[in-house]
């Protein structure tokens, strides 16, 4: 039953962080695969003055409660969507602007399909409803099954680097001293076994059927040169998602909120309208 | 040479190009802007090819995904990444395992942003780490598989498939094998043996599925009528048992009466209203000597009397006054005399390799030619031999007889390479002289230890697992094989079982009996075989009586089988004939 968890329990499980203007409209940020809430650091300053910013780590990532990782629950994206809804319920968030990056764009859509009244807008950053090509209907997601097997291998190669105790010490960068060494060594660290499972769930899932079940207004942010979400995929999402707006960002790569935070924030602010 | 500040002058360009690892500088988007000679040589690409290419395009797609989702954000947010394991695909299309570290320098004034990267070959380290990780994964997977198999096997072994109630083993697991007396809060354990009246008629007239439905609803009624301290089990067919704590016999008979009422309510089957009844036998634990098993046996006797006296009623079992101490002494005297007078003999049952259909060995089984009761199997006298200590000379004698036979069979072709299995009792397992005894017997008969297999029951192993591991290891060191006998009946922890150095799992005959009868036994047998193979040991089926069972076992990949289908336990002359005709 949603709402059955206390704010404390959810905060511990998902390492929930609340920032910004306490009485502002709510923006909830859901990070994508391979990272945690730290990846929003460059984007959050554009919103903290006017919005109540809620960040969290998916279970298994960052500083979430690893003991809460249940392979069955998190065996589909639905389990992650449940957590998003539980965070909303526990913190009593209403009219939420939900920002989801990469796989969390799909998690956001699943959550919005389940509880439409909870969300005001969805911001989908570099979304892809299916990463692998589908030979049956000709859908192009960009990857073959072998590519995803390759990713799992790559994760295994980094197993020891990701295992907390054996991780290499970053030597630091004299050019960006503002971040503490602690962040350098803990950034987006994850339990290697969970990372592997999450990779399977993320990259072998097919969420295309959720698109036409979402009525919420949504913004699709499409980057150029994005290995994970090529332009055709953004167009596909736009065509199948009612009430959606597609914006091509002046940003390259898969993480515009990291590489081009100003352009990303600008596009979001323009979409959600004048500041309150 | 030094500069004006006294620092040695370094040729930085040479340092860059001839460094012992690859140096690269890329723009903020990852396009290579400068690259050193070491990297050019290592990858086999020309410098012009590399310049302007995105660094991640030199990696396989899997690495690119990881780089895009994990490393680029980390570089963007914290400014550096360290020792990322990637492959660099060279001009020859060969992957070069490498480690990559990088620092990002943000745009400042005229200077645009850049990323400085070092890449060094990590071939050996990757091999080593890959091996470690795959070992880890294999261990994780086999652990998970084993835990699942264990859970499922346990559930299957302890429950009746039709009604979901515990079966006999489940009941024993619940109440233990220890005697129950009337001590705790002055309550005693009671067993009520419930046998449905005229169940066969229902089955015959309405069909088996109606019969099954009836059993399921009886099970539901009984379960609802018994309090939490008690348990309902289905033993077989239409036989149920309720075990519960009672304040005395009056309490037990009142429970029986209430169960008769519960059963008497009409039920609907196949559109018909049916009223059934049952006969109940009651046994209440006395003083402190009865196990659950004893109680069920006594209640079973009482239920026959209830049936004789007209059904739909209960009867209480009252133990006949006798002096068990006297009985026991008499029996023990007979056994001692029997051993002395050569009334014990060893029969041998062939064990068949299911893949080749040929005999791979024999199991030695001791028999007692009792003057009044005829030829007795070990179940009739081994417990007594154990209690009295007679099992020690008896065990040594059986082993020696068997090895003597092995010695003589070795001399003809039919016997070469045959394995000889001999049973060890719980008491023998704990006997400190056991290992010396086995070693002496092997030497005396010049026996290859690898051809001797000692069988220990699961129950004996689990009675003191710590001590058992020690004895088994000592036996193992002699080179003899070890088998777990009657597997599946002792509801042991398989986790523990894994610690025993055994070579063989013998699946109990009670499960083989139900093969092909849709009783859930097939699943148990299959699980046992899989389990044995999962830990790398042989699976053996005992009590195989029909070719259907043999076929099912063969289909499930069982290694060996024994049973009446192939041959019963044979005295030596018949065994020789059998071996000659099956060679």
Interface residue of B27, B61, B69 to substitute, partner A, most A CBs within 10 Å: B69
Q: Which of residues 122-151 of B touch A (CB under 8 A)?
A: 126, 129-130, 132-134, 136-137, 140
Q: Compute, in degrees rounded to 10, the torsion defined by CA atoms B374, B377, B382, B385.
A: 20
- Per CB-CB distance under 8 Å, the chain B contacts of A203 are 65
CA distance B538 to chain A (A): 33
Instruction: Please answer whether residues B192 and B302 qualify as being in contact, where contact means their C-beta atoms are separated by less than 8 angstroms.
Output: no
Contacts of B284 (CB under 8 A, 6+ apart): B188, B189, B190, B246, B248, B249, B252, B295, B316
A254 → closest Cβ in B69, B106, B140: B69
**Residue B156 Cα to chain centre, angstroms:** 12
A249–B contact, CB cutoff 8 A: no
Which of A162, A17, A173, A164 lies closest to A87 in space, CA to CA? A17
Query: Closest Cα of chain B to A138: distance in Å?
Result: 21
Rounded to whole angstroms, how far apart are CA atoms B375 and A55? 80
Q: Quick one: pLDDT at residue B518? A: 64
Q: Which residue of B has its CA nearest to A41?
A: B77
Instruction: Flag if B86 and A188 touch (Cβ within 8 Å).
Output: no
d(CA A257, CA A40): 7
Residue B61: which of A147, A169, A184 has the nearest Cβ? A147
Chain B residues whose beta carbon lies within 8 Å of the beta carbon of residue A183 = 77-78
Question: Of A151, A179, A225, which has the smallest distance from its Cβ to B65's Cβ?
Answer: A151
Tell me the per-residue pLDDT of B284-298, one tens digit each, with 9 for 90 and over. 987 666 788 889 988
Asked if the model's pLDDT at residue A137 lies above 70, the reply is: yes
DSSP states along B323-369: -HHHHHHHHHHHHHHHHHTT-EEEEEEEEEETTT-SEEEEEEEEEEE
pLDDT given at position A3: 41
What is the average pLDDT across B227-231? 86
For the ranges A2-11, A24-33, B6-15, B268-277, the maximum mean pLDDT occurs at A24-33
Residue B182 has pLDDT above 50, yes or no: no
Kindly indicate the confidence band of residue B321, based on its pLDDT and cuts at 50, 70 and 90. low
Cβ–Cβ contacts within 10 Å for residue B130, how many? 16
- Give the model's confidence band at A135: pLDDT under 50 very low, under 70 low, under 90 confident, else very high: confident
Q: Cα–Cα distance between B458 and B473 in angstroms, integer?
A: 16
Question: So what's the pLDDT on residue A182?
Answer: 56
The reported pLDDT for the residue numbered B415 is 75
Reply yes or no on whether the pLDDT at B438 is more than 70: yes
Give the number of A-B residue pairs with CB atoms closer than 8 Å.
142
Output the pTM of the full model: 0.54
pLDDT of B425 reads 85
Are the beta carbons of B69 and A102 separated by less than 8 Å? yes
- Which of A29, A34, A35 should be substituted to probe chain B, the one whose Cβ sees the most B Cβ atoms within 10 Å? A34
Sorted by sequence, the CB contacts under 8 Å of residue B178 that are 6+ apart come out as B291
Residue B406: per-residue pLDDT: 92
Interface of A with B in 168-187 (CB under 8 A): 168-173, 175-176, 179, 183-184, 187
In chain B, % of residues over pLDDT 90: 40
Put simply, the answer to whether A258 touches B72 (Cβ < 8 Å) is: yes
Residue A185 pLDDT greater than 70, yes or no: no
Asked whether B406 and B423 are in contact (CB, 8 A), the reply is no
- B28–chain A Cβ distance below 8 A for any pair: yes
Q: Residues 10-49, chain A: which have Cβ within 8 Å of B?
A: 32-35, 38-39, 41-42
Q: With CB atoms and an 8 Å threshold, state whether B73 touches A188.
A: yes
Nearest to A228 among B65, B80, B81 (CB): B65
Closest alpha carbon within chain B to A256: B73
List domains and CATH numbers for chain B: 12-122 (3.30.450.20), 159-316 (3.30.70.270), 326-581 (3.20.20.450)
Measured between beta carbons, the chain A residues lying within 8 angstroms of B104 are: 173, 175-176
* B304 pLDDT more than 90: no
Which residues of A are the active-site residues?
A: 102, 226, 254
- Rounded distance, CA B154 to CA B528, Å? 11
pLDDT of residue A171: 54
Query: Of the segments A22-31, B484-493, B528-537, which one has the largest average pLDDT value?
Result: A22-31
Q: Nearest-CA residue of chain A relative to B103? A: A173
Inter-chain contact A173–B80, Cβ cutoff 8 Å?
yes
Tokens linked to A151: 């990713």
Residues of chain B in contact with residue A155, where contact means CB-CB under 8 angstroms, are: 66
């Amino acid at each position: 039953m949603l709402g059955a968890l206390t704010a404390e329990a959810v905060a511990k499980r998902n390492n929930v962080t609340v920032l910004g203007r306490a009485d502002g409209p709510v923006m909830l940020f859901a990070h994508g695969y391979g990272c945690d809430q730290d990846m929003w650091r460059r984007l959050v300053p554009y919103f903290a003055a006017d919005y109540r910013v809620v960040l969290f780590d998916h279970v298994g990532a960052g500083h979430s409660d690893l003991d809460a990782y249940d392979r069955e629950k998190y065996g589909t994206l639905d389990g992650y969507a449940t957590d998003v809804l539980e965070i909303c319920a526990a913190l009593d968030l209403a009219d939420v602007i939900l920002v989801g990056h990469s796989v969390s764009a799909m998690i956001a859509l699943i959550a919005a399909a389940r509880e439409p009244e909870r969300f005001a807008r969805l911001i989908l950053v570099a979304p892809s409803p299916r990463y692998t090509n589908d030979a049956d209907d000709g859908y192009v997601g960009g990857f073959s099954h072998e590519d995803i097997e390759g990713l799992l291998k790559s994760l295994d190669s980094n197993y020891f680097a990701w295992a907390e105790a054996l991780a290499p010490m970053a030597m630091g960068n004299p050019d960006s001293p503002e971040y503490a060494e602690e962040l350098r060594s803990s950034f987006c660290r994850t339990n290697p076994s969970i990372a592997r499972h999450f990779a399977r769930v993320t990259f072998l899932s097919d969420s295309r059927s959720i698109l036409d079940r979402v009525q919420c207004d949504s913004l699709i942010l499409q980057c150029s040169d994005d290995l994970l979400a090529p332009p055709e995929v953004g167009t596909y999402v736009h065509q199948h998602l009612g009430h959606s707006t597609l914006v091509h960002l002046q940003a390259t790569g898969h993480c515009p909120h990291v590489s081009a935070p100003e352009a990303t924030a600008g596009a979001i602010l323009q979409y959600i309208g004048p500041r309150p | 040479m030094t500069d004006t500040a006294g620092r040695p002058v370094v040729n930085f360009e040479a340092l860059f190009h001839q460094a012992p690892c690859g140096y690269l500088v890329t723009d903020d988007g990852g396009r290579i802007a400068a690259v050193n000679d070491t990297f050019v040589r290592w990858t086999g690409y020309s410098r012009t090819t590399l310049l302007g290419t995105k660094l991640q395009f030199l990696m396989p797609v899997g690495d690119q995904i990881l780089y895009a989702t994990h490393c680029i954000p980390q570089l963007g947010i914290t400014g550096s990444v360290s020792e990322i394991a990637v492959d660099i695909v060279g001009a020859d299309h060969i992957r070069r395992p490498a480690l990559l570290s990088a620092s990002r320098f943000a745009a400042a004034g005229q200077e645009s942003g850049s990323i400085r990267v070092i890449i060094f070959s990590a071939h050996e380290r990757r091999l080593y780490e890959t091996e470690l990780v795959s070992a880890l994964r294999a261990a994780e997977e086999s652990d998970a598989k084993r835990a699942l198999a264990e859970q499922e096997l346990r559930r299957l072994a302890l429950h009746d498939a039709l009604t979901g109630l515990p079966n006999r083993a489940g009941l024993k697991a619940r109440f233990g094998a220890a005697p129950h007396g009337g001590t705790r809060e002055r309550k005693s354990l009671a067993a009520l043996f419930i046998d449905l009246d005229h169940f066969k008629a229902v089955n015959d007239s309405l069909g088996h599925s109606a019969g099954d439905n009836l059993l399921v609803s009886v099970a539901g009624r009984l379960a609802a009528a018994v309090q939490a301290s008690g348990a309902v089990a289905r033993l077989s067919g239409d036989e149920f048992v309720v075990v519960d704590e009672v304040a005395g016999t009056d309490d037990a008979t009142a429970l029986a009466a209430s169960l008769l009422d519960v059963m008497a309510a009409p039920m609907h089957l196949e559109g018909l209203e049916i009223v059934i009844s049952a006969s109940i036998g009651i046994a209440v634990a006395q003083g402190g000597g009865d196990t659950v098993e004893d109680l069920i046996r006594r209640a079973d006797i009482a239920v026959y009397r209830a049936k004789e006296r007209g059904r739909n009623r209960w009867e209480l079992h009252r133990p006949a006054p006798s002096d068990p101490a006297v009985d026991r002494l008499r029996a023990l005297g007979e056994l001692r005399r029997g051993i002395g007078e050569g009334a014990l003999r060893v029969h041998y049952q062939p064990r068949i390799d299911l893949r080749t259909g040929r005999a791979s060995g024999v199991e030695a089984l001791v028999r007692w030619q009792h003057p009044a009761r005829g030829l007795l199997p070990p179940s009739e006298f081994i417990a007594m031999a154990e209690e009295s200590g007679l099992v020690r000379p008896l065990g040594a004698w059986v082993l020696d007889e068997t090895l003597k036979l092995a010695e003589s069979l070795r001399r003809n072709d039919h016997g070469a390479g045959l394995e000889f299995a001999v049973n060890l009792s719980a008491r023998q397992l704990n006997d400190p002289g056991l290992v010396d005894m086995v070693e002496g017997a092997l030497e005396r008969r010049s026996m290859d230890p690898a051809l001797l297999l000692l069988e220990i029951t699961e129950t004996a192993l689990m009675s003191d697992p710590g001590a058992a591991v020690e004895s088994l290891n000592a036996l193992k060191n002699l080179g003899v094989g070890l088998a777990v006998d009657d597997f599946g009946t002792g509801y042991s922890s398989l986790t523990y079982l894994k610690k025993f150095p055994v070579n063989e799992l013998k699946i109990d005959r009670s499960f083989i009996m139900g093969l092909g009868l849709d009783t859930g036994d097939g699943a148990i047998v299959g699980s046992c075989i899989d389990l044995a193979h999962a830990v790398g040991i042989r699976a053996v089926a005992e009590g195989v009586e029909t070719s259907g069972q043999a076929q099912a076992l063969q289909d499930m990949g069982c290694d060996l089988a024994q049973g009446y289908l192939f041959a019963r336990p044979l005295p030596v002359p018949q065994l020789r004939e059998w071996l000659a005709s099956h060679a």
